[in-house]
Amino acid sequence: MTAFSLEPAQLAWCGELRALAAERLRPLAGKGEPGRVNRALLAELGALGLLPRLFTSGALELCLMRESLAHACTEAETALALQGLGAHPVHAHGTDAQRAHWLPRVAAGTAVAAFALTEPAAGSDAAALSLTATPAADGWRLSGEKCWISHAPEADFYTVFARTTPGAGARGVTAFLVPADRPGLTGTALDMLSPHPIGALAFDAVPVTADDVLGEVDRGFRVAMDTLNLFRPSVGAFAVGMAQAALDATLGHTARRDAFGGKLRDLQSVAHQVAEMALRTESARLMVYAAATAYDEGAPDVPRRSAMAKLLATETAQYVVDRAVQLHGARALQRGHLLEHLYREVRAPRIYEGASEVQRSIIAKELYKNLEDR
């Protein structure tokens, strides 16, 4: 298998996932309360065996899951992705005890995970974190804030990144597994353009011990980057799934819609826009698959490829969905229309897990680093 051609079994599995998302997951998503964790949806993702795959799949399989689910049910895709993002540090860097306690519950959809990296004054600049871990007799006390955290304040545990060594930049950050019921930890829901909860967390001398450390002390930045390098291409896969859904809707609409004595598709200006949408979607898909395969193979250029995949795919999805809305006209802006839903959903991926501008900075940094290494 190459990064540019999927096996028949993989293609069949993607088709099965799209069908499951439409038949089993979308009805549950429709019953969810906006801004709240949809625990019934999570439980169904667990029962279908999709959440357990978060801990057994490679990057390419994760991308195929996210793309396929996004095509039919963005809420199910996001629920799966956030479980993976919050729990991957436990899976990859946790102790045996941490894994045994949390991962079976995450896989069953009975425990909600969250990835708590962003702060009010340290969004994309993850090395500038100011949440402080102050040494205590039995470990540390966490004090400070996190903001724009998906699944907060409803998660059952958080992967939290805190500064253990002042003035050390990225080298002084430690990752902690913090259960939601720790004393001193409180959360507030934020009113965001999102179907799932996003909130702020306040840490008032929250106690953590060596048993809560994920990985090594002062090496938490590596935990964060390892997680993001895996999940950034799959954010691109989420975007590709939305772009494909918008493209499919546009093909059907322009083929049926009467206009100027023919069908919309007969207008060259329309046909060329649809062709451009398809070209960009397929280009983004191939870059996502290539980045995921590079991650699975342990290639040295994973940070650059991951950044490129996320950047191209999320910007492409924004373009494709916007063009789809334009070609559908006013009907696409009606509440409940597929494109009205996608238009709201497609904007956030260009910001979270590193905004598009940050991805460009990563790409440039990696390119110049390679030049210096020659």
Q: How many residues does the chain have?
A: 374
Tokens of 223: 């935990």
Domain with CATH 1.20.140.10 in the chain: 222-373
Q: Over the chain, what is the mean pLDDT?
A: 94
Cα-to-chain-centroid distance, residue 163: 24
Catalytic residue status for 119: no
The CATH class, in words, for 113-218 is mainly beta
Task: List b or e across 118-141, with b for residues whose CB sees 16 or more CB atoms inside 10 angstroms.
Answer: bbeebbbebeebebebeeeeebbb
Extract the runs of DSSP E, i.e. beta strands, from 190-287. Answer: 198-208, 213-214, 258-259, 262-263
Going by C-beta distance under 8 Å and a sequence separation of 6 or more, which residues neighbour residue 34?
195
Check: CB of residue 247 under 8 Å from CB of residue 278: yes
Q: How much is the pTM?
A: 0.93
The overall longest dimension of the chain from CA atoms, in Å, is 81
pLDDT of residue 126: 64
Collapsing DSSP to helix, strand or coil, 111 comes out as: coil
Which of 3.40.630.10, 2.30.42.10, 1.10.357.10, 1.10.540.10 is the CATH number of 8-108? Answer: 1.10.540.10
Where exactly does CATH 2.40.110.10 map onto the chain?
Answer: 113-218
Q: Measured at the alpha carbon of residue 52, what is the angle toward residues 51 and 53, in degrees to the nearest 5?
A: 90
pLDDT of residue 4: 66
What are the backbone angles phi and psi of residue 78, rounded to the nearest 5°?
-70, -40
Phi, psi at 372, each rounded to 5°? -70, -30
Catalytic one among 75, 77, 353, 366?
Answer: 353
Q: What was the pLDDT predicted at 372?
A: 77
What is the per-residue pLDDT for 194?
A: 81
pLDDT tens-digit map of 227-274: 998 999 999 999 999 999 999 999 999 999 998 999 999 999 999 999
**DSSP helix/strand/coil, 360:** helix
- φ/ψ of 193, rounded to 5, equals -80, 80
Give me the residues of the chain with pLDDT under 50, please.
Answer: 1-3
- Model pLDDT, residue 2: 42
Domain 222-373 has CATH 3.40.640.10: no
* Three-state SS at 5: strand
For the chain, residues classed under CATH 1.10.540.10 are 8-108
- Closest listed residue to residue 78, CA positions, set 227, 222, 237, 260: 237
Tally Cβ neighbours within 10 Å of residue 96: 7
362 and 304 in contact (C-beta within 8 Å)? yes
